[in-house]
A and B are shown apart, each in its own frame.
Chain A
Amino acid sequence: MPIIATQGLTMRFPRVTALDDLTVSVEPGVVGLVGANGAGKSTLIRILLGLQPPSAGQATVLGLDIAREGVHIRERVGFMPEYDCLPPDVSATEFVVHMARMCGLPSTAARERAADILRHVGLYEERYRPIGGYSTGMKQRVKLAQALVHDPQLVFLDEPTNGLDPAGREEMLELIRRIGAEFGISVLVTSHLLGELERVCDHVVIIDGGTLLRSQAVEAYTAASGLLTVEVEEGRDQLGQRLYDQGVAVHPEGRFLVVDIAGEETYDLIRDGVAELGLRLIRLEQRRHHIEEVFVAPQEIQMPSDAPLAGPPAPDAPRSEAPQPGPQGAPR
């Protein structure tokens, strides 16, 4: 059973269309939801929580209808907002216990669960101090803890790595991976950074301007591209020339050579070339696609002419009204 399924979901505000006929369905696991700022990610989460009725379309979360069973959805899911949502003058323990009670957990259970989950997200002695004195990383952990304290079946994490330094970002991503793998809780995590989701997600949904760009398993994005990356210490051009002369499609890229794999013999040609030229081979690897390429490529196609998009789920015409976000949200 899909954890989330939407059917023609549309959300129009007076001036913008946040979601435009979005139909997508995802299976349990860690699901990434990617889009530039303003692509409609937060709006989608609000609708899925049953907090805001969509202008059109329908959706189910954990098999429950958002329009009729919003309360039951909210009993079973957790939500970590993007913005700062913590009162500074209470301790993390006090706050998380209170939030557990608000999910119906009896007082004793609420205290036990709060202590447990704060330990799991990595808050120890500091949890008795007021939240106002916490670092951004610690605050993000408290926000995560309040979303998990009632042991939901699914959590919505809205930009959990926002504002974190590289080390904090790593730790948060590791936590998200554990929530999916060890805790057995499905995760819908949004980000505008594609690279970081590639590492923790099983499945990635990309939306842009409120329409679905692509929804598929991470492996499909990162499949082998049929290209080889070759790096040698010196003599890149010699090797390139030699391969070219032997009829191999090759072009330089930075310090590397990028070679089209025509078949098994391509590997032999490179091996022989390196050996006969007496070069030191540093790297010979199959190049994989990055998720970013999916996001950037259609933009480039679309920007100059309004040509139809390449790729299977080509979005329809009405994406023109909002200014194109451009590829700025993509790669990092």
Chain B
Amino acid sequence: MTTSTIHDIGYRHYDGRRLGRAYMVRSLYAHNLRAAFGLGRPARAKVMPFLLCAVMLLPAAASVAILGFTKQPDALIRYSSYALIMQVVVAIFMATQAPVIASRELRFHVVPLYFSRPVGHLDFVLAKFGAFATALFAMLAVPVTLLYVGALVTRPDKMTPIVDEIGGGPDGPAKADSLFDHTLHYLGGLAGCVLFALVLASIGLVIAAFTTRRGLGVAAVIAAYMLSSTIVVIIQGIAEAEANNFTVSGWAGLFSPFNLVDIVQVRLLGAQLSAPAAPSGVTGGLVALAVCCGLVAGSIAVLYRRFRKAGLS
């Protein structure tokens, strides 16, 4: 017998503090955020998220390096288009990590353990949703921030006179911004990242919550992304090429998640169009924003019902 018997001092009651709802929501949020990056789980769970994060950073780093060499402001990737350029990587992250958040605890029947404790159903869902949206936001915002910092370090605003000499109108490619405009663009880009994160989290979590079998969730989320974007691009192509109908093409963009958010970026946040098409005017932007809000609210409502039911099994 080892030391364990010596230290056996019998059962002790706990009469310390018991914290309230805010603490539990915060802990749950932190737990899920860690889970999204595989922290607290074996090493192989960390491979995919960290690999994808590294891949996300590469183009930003390269872009900053090229900017540093060439001093050409248009060498820098536009903040608002970074998510669209990298959308396949973002979609893979969404597909592999949404099941970790949404379906892992359903699959192993852990959910009833939460609801037999003083954890509320809505708190539970909001913590999960918030954690996954935060993970996606970090994935998108860190490279965008890297671009911004890189641009500040290489001081493109100093290049303005040269650039103006070369000449480029307001839409011209070689126009460098003032520091103020530049920062505004950056903040607009971050706002776009928030919206991307919320919309993608909504879609990813709902699909994953209904496909609890291992692997199936990943496939379902990636399929939803591929199908929506492919079908929308095909419709847009047909509309523009065959019927020369840019209205249909623009509105069709609402049905692909990345195109949807880009519509808001273009029409409401003053970004340049990166997606294939967008409906014209502020109306188009407002409609797209409304669709985004609807997606988020609908997703939370569906997740609420799903987890509430699972808590009773």
Which A residues form the contact surface with B (CB < 8 A)?
46, 49, 51-52, 71-72, 74-75, 77-79, 81, 83-90, 94, 98-99, 101-106, 109, 113, 116, 119-120, 124, 130, 146, 150-151, 182-184
B68 CB–A CB distance under 8 Å:
no
* Known contacts A109-B16, A151-B14; A102 and B119 CB within 8 A of each other: yes
Q: How far is the CB of A47 from chain B (nearest CB, A)?
A: 11
Set of chain B residues within 8 Å of A81, measured between Cβ atoms: 109, 112-113
Contact among A94, A109, A113 with B40 in the assembled complex (CB-CB below 8 Å): A94
In the complex, chain A residues whose CB is within 8 Å of the CB of B24: 101-102, 104
Q: Judging by beta carbons under 8 Å apart, are B16 and A86 in contact? A: no
B116/A104 in contact, CB under 8 A: no
A116 neighbours in B (Cβ, 8 Å): 12
- Give the interface centre of B20, B104, B108 by most chain A CB atoms within 10 Å: B108
How far is it, in angstroms, between the C-alpha of A85 and the C-alpha of B104 when the chains are bound?
11
B172: CB under 8 A from chain A?
A: no
Residue of B4, B16, B108 touching A106 (CB-CB under 8 A): B16
Q: Is the CB of B108 within 8 A of A88?
A: yes
Tell which of A46, A75, A89, A106 touches B42, judged by Cβ atoms closer than 8 Å. A89
User: Contact: B105 with A74, CB < 8 Å?
Assistant: no
Cβ contact of B27, chosen from A46, A84, A102, A182, cutoff 8 A: A102
Interface residues on B, range: 35 or more
Chain B residues with Cβ below 8 Å from A146 are: 113
Could you tell me if A104 and B14 are in contact, using CB atoms closer than 8 angstroms?
A: no
B4 and A130 within 8 A (CB): no
B10 to chain A, nearest CB (A): 7
A sample of 6 inter-chain contacts (CB < 8 A) reads A79-B112, A85-B109, A102-B117, A119-B4, A183-B11, A184-B11
Given that A85-B113, A102-B24, A130-B42 are known contacts, is A151 also in contact with B108, CB under 8 Å in the complex? no
The answer to whether A124 touches B116 (Cβ under 8 A) is no
Instruction: Output the residue of B10, B20, B105, B113 with the most chain A CB within 10 A.
Output: B113
Question: Would you give the shortest CB distance from B302 to chain A, in whole angstroms?
Answer: 20
**Which A residues are CB-close (under 8 A) to B71?**
none
B180 on interface, CB distance cutoff 8 Å = no
A89 touches B41 (CB 8 A): yes
Q: How many CB-defined contacts (below 8 Å) exist between A and B?
A: 99
CB atoms of B115 and A109 under 8 A apart: no
Q: If A84-B109, A89-B41, A89-B45 touch, does A105 touch B19 (CB 8 Å cutoff)?
A: yes
Contact A79 B108 (CB under 8 A): no
CB distance from B45 to the nearest CB of A (A): 7
Q: Are A150 and B113 in contact (CB under 8 A)?
A: no
Q: What distance in Å separates the Cβ of A208 from its nearest Cβ neighbour in chain B? A: 23
> What separation, in Å, do the CA atoms of A150 and B304 have in the docked complex?
26
Using a CB-CB cutoff of 8 Å, which residues 147-193 of chain B contact chain A? none
Q: Report whether A85 and B108 are in contact in the complex, using a CB–CB cutoff of 8 Å.
A: yes
User: When each residue 3-15 of chain B gets 1 if its CB lies under 8 Å from chain A and 0 otherwise, what string results?
Assistant: 0100010111110
Q: Is the CB of B18 within 8 A of A104?
A: yes
Least distance between B137 CB and chain A CB atoms (Å): 24
Say yes or no: is B55 at the interface (Cβ < 8 Å to chain A): no
User: Would you give the shortest CB distance from A110 to chain B, in whole angstroms?
Assistant: 9
Q: Which residue from A46, A51, A74 sits with its C-beta under 8 Å from B118?
A: A74
CA distance A47 to B52 in the complex (A): 45
Smallest Cβ distance from A233 to chain B, in angstroms? 43
Interface residues of B in 1-56 (CB under 8 A from A): 4, 8, 10-14, 16-20, 23-24, 27-28, 31, 40-42, 45
Specify which chain A residues have a CB less than 8 angstroms from the CB of B119 in the assembled complex. 102
Q: Which of A49, A86, A90 contacts B41 (CB 8 A)?
A: A90
Closest to B114 in A: A102
Contact B116 A79 (CB under 8 A): yes
A120: chain B residues within 8 A (beta carbon): 11
Known contacts A71-B118, A81-B112, A102-B24: A113-B14 contact under CB 8 Å: yes
B108 contact set on A, CB distance < 8 A: 84-88
Of chain B, the residue at the smallest CB distance from A183 is: B11
Pairs of residues from A and B, 6 with the lowest C-beta to C-beta distance, nearest first: A151-B14, A79-B116, A104-B18, A101-B27, A183-B11, A104-B19
A184 to B11, CA, bound (A): 9
B residues near A72, Cβ cutoff 8 Å: 118
Question: Is B312 an interface position by the 8 A CB rule?
Answer: yes
In Å, the complex CA distance between A164 and B16 comes to 35
Q: How far is the CB of A232 from chain B (nearest CB, A)?
A: 45
Tell me whether B118 and A103 are in contact (CB under 8 A): yes
Minimum CB–CB distance from A70 to chain B (whole Å) comes to 9
Determine which of B17, B45, B117 lies in contact with A74 in the assembled complex, contact meaning CB atoms within 8 Å.
Answer: B117
Q: In chain A, what residue has the closest Cβ to B31?
A: A98
Given contacts A87-B108, A102-B28, A183-B11, contact A74 B16 (CB under 8 A): no
Indicate whether B66 reaches chain A with its CB closer than 8 angstroms.
no
Question: Is the pair B11, A104 in contact by a Cβ cutoff of 8 Å?
Answer: no
- Residues of A near B112 (CB, < 8 A) are 51, 79, 81, 85
Q: Is B311 at the interface (CB under 8 A from chain A)? A: yes
Can you name the residue of chain B whose Cβ is closest to the Cβ of A77?
A: B116
Q: Chain B 86-115 against A: per-residue CB contact (8 Å), 1 yes, 0 no?
A: 000000000000000000110011101111
Question: Closest approach, in angstroms, between the C-beta of B20 and any C-beta of chain A?
Answer: 6
Residues of chain A within 8 A (CB-CB) of B105 are 87
Bound together, the chains give a CA A85 to CA B310 distance in angstroms of 12
List residues of chain A with CB within 8 A of the CB of B113: 79, 81, 85, 99, 102, 146
**Is B18 a contact of A103 with CB atoms below 8 Å?**
yes
